[in-house]
Amino acid sequence: MNLFISHSSRNANYGNALVELLIGIGISADDIIFSSNDAFGIPIGQNIFNWLRTKISEKPYVLYLLSPEYYKSVACLNEMGAAWIIESSHTMIFTPNFDLRSYDFQNGALDPREIGFYINNENKLLAFIESLKTSFSITNNSVLINQKVKQFISVIKPFFQIETSLSKNASEVNEKQVSIANIEMQPIIKKETITNRIISVSPNRSRFYSDLINDKLKDEELLLAKYIIDTDKFKLGTGWQESNEISNIKAWEDVHELSNVLSNSYNGTIRRLDMKKLTEVSAFTSFGNPKEISFVDEFKHELLDPSDELNEKLKEVIEKHKRNESLDF
């Protein structure tokens, strides 16, 4: 049986630590499917949607790494729905900042009455490992298991400390924005002045955001943003891997019944984002040529937590590029 870790790419740090724990207690690396790590992810040349569909249909043991980011990801919710339909064995694991009372969790595909556990709960982790023994080959060395669990807890501890700090900072920024928005101004200059003042208290905004506010984004750039949000992919193929990425984009366009605007202009769109300093090379070939790009942190955050302005623009561009007739599948 394979073990599939369904997660948001924004929680890849927790997922990587979890993979190391599972391997450390005896589970074969070949049995683990974890798309945020190339060693456990989608093979080169495979279509992401078809590959995941095949793996899920094989009824793997699913670990749902649930977080606020998970429920904001269309790709994650699709994975959850597919796995739920085939009734895979599964376990729910919650990141420390996840609220079990959230509407999305209480009304989602997974039964909120099932027992899950928070990822930083040492005793629950030990009980979880014991339960895996019915499906996987786990070491019987209890001392080793305890060591691996303690090591795991120490590795992930900084993750939620950083999340707490970022959440606090975000709240402070929101308070400043509300304060600025309430300042009384003359009607003629009110909109422009408020916008400029809000940007000034948010220095980490990307060029993408400023172009969005000033209505300077091309349709292809907005469609690429929607593709990234839907697929939860923040690393894209370039160079010799560009054709694979374009194939994935075409599959996404087919699913959403969109014209091929993005797939036909992918190379130019990536080059425009590069000129705006929104991308960076994240992997090279053995000859030193780029084969993968990732996005700068500011741009990632704007897509992971899209503003009302961005959501509105994405709706408009999707409607604009809908095909005239539906596709038959």
Whether 316 is a known active-site residue: answer no
| pLDDT for position 63 | 93
Cα separation of 174 and 178, whole Å?
A: 6
Q: Stretch 257-275: mean pLDDT, rounded?
A: 91
Check pLDDT > 60 for residue 185. no
Residue with tokens 């499917």: 33
Check pLDDT > 50 for residue 53. yes
Residues 6 or more apart in contact with residue 185 via CB below 8 angstroms: 193, 194
285: tokens are 């070939």
| pLDDT for position 46 | 57
Please tell me which residue in 69, 79, 253, 292 is annotated as part of the active site.
Answer: 79
- Is pTM beyond 0.75? Reply is no
> In one letter, which amino acid is 148?
K
Domain architecture of the chain: domains with CATH: 3-155 (3.40.50.10140), 204-320 (1.10.10)
